[in-house]
């Protein structure tokens, strides 16, 4: 019996479907709770190549629900994409796994999506999701939206030119801070696994050519209330600028490059890379007299009573304890400089 024998015994997949999985290229954007779960599912299923991309690092509060990480990852402040790559390679050495430590803006998304057969959403914000929606529609690459918070979640499989897209269902992008987040209302781990299970099943259907078996629209669930509902969507919304008119507003809005962004629910602001690589060893040595410093090959994390920030090798910086770009730039200038 082969490694995938039980999966091949499932008639809708079979050996032919397994061969299709082996040749598939999958991109997982965001490697937190949902991203961890769906990346592990597809790694164990035997996809040919899996790319995971995430901008953040592992923290102790992640361990309750983010299944690819452990206490050592949090203690070492490893980037989630790097920690996920290492863990997934140990799970299945047959899969070509690549972790990318990056913030997914319009340019990064375009480079990654164009080389994928399927995109899976593991993000925690609508800014990135709407960029993904536009890029996937433009490139003709299917993607599976997923979200969860508290005890409820949602899943939507999008096939460009055939089904409703995220903009069809939600409308224009919700304003930052307008929705609940894990940091404001919490999240229970079982709902992560439930949403990821639906995402994973839809992914397997898409990758093995079982599109008639796809759920017909938006899946919503609430594990605490015991509710599961599928809203049957009758095709694309006739007014949708993205999938009907071919107007990709959210990609075009970000074409000039990312600006500072408030990370909703985190009391943190992300400052974009400045275009030059950072000598992390030199920066760490300079910061040590001013506070606690943790350094690895990807980043420097600095903590003092007055400030906390994480500087990545490309210059991208997350400043914690602030809620606006001006405050973040002030902290950055004080401790890092120009």
Q: Which residues are catalytic?
A: 182
**CB 13 within 8 Å of CB 38:** no
Q: Which long-range contacts (CB under 8 A, 24 or more apart) does 2-10 make?
A: 3/46, 3/94, 4/45, 4/46, 7/45, 7/46
Triad 167, 241, 230: Cα angle to 5°: 30
Q: How far is CA 221 from CA 80, 153, 157, 216, in A?
A: 27, 5, 15, 15
CB neighbourhood size of 314 (10 A): 18
**CB 162 within 8 Å of CB 179:** no
- 37: closest CA among 211, 163, 213, 189? 189
Cα separation, 269 vs 320, whole angstroms: 7
Q: Kindly state the tokens that stand for 198.
A: 């639906």
Cα separation, 178 vs 259, whole angstroms: 20
């Amino acid at each position: 019996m082969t490694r995938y024998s039980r999966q091949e015994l499932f008639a809708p997949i079979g050996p032919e479907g397994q061969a299709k999985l082996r040749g598939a290229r999958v991109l997982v954007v965001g490697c937190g709770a949902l991203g961890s779960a769906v990346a592990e599912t597809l790694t164990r299923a035997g996809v040919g190549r899996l790319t995971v991309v995430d901008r953040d690092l592992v923290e102790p509060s992640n361990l309750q629900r983010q299944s690819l990480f452990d206490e050592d990852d949090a203690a070492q402040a490893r980037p989630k994409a790097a920690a996920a790559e290492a863990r997934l390679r140990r799970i299945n050495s047959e899969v070509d796994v690549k972790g990318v430590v990056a913030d997914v803006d319009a340019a990064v998304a375009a480079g990654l999506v164009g080389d994928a057969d399927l995109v899976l959403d593991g993000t925690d914000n609508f800014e990135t999701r709407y960029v993904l929606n536009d890029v996937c529609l433009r490139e003709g690459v299917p993607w599976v939206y997923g979200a969860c918070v508290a005890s409820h979640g949602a899943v939507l499989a999008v096939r460009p030119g055939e089904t409703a897209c995220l903009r069809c269902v939600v409308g224009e992008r919700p304003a930052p801070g307008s929705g609940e987040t894990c940091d404001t209302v919490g999240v229970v781990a079982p709902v992560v696994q439930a949403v990821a299970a639906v995402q994973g099943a839809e992914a397997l259907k898409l990758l093995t050519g079982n599109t008639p078996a796809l759920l017909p629209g938006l899946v919503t669930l609430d594990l605490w209330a015991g509710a599961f509902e599928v809203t049957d969507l009758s095709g694309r919304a006739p007014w949708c600028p993205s999938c009907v008119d071919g107007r990709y507003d959210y990609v075009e809005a970000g074409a000039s490059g990312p600006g500072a962004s408030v990370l909703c629910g985190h009391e943190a602001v992300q400052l974009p890379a400045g275009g030059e690589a950072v000598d992390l060893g030199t920066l760490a040595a300079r910061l040590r007299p001013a506070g606690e410093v943790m350094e690895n090959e990807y980043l420097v994390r600095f903590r003092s009573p007055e400030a906390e920030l994480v500087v990545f090798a490309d210059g991208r910086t997350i400043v914690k304890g602030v809620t606006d770009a001006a405050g973040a730039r002030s902290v950055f200038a004080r401790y890092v400089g120009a």
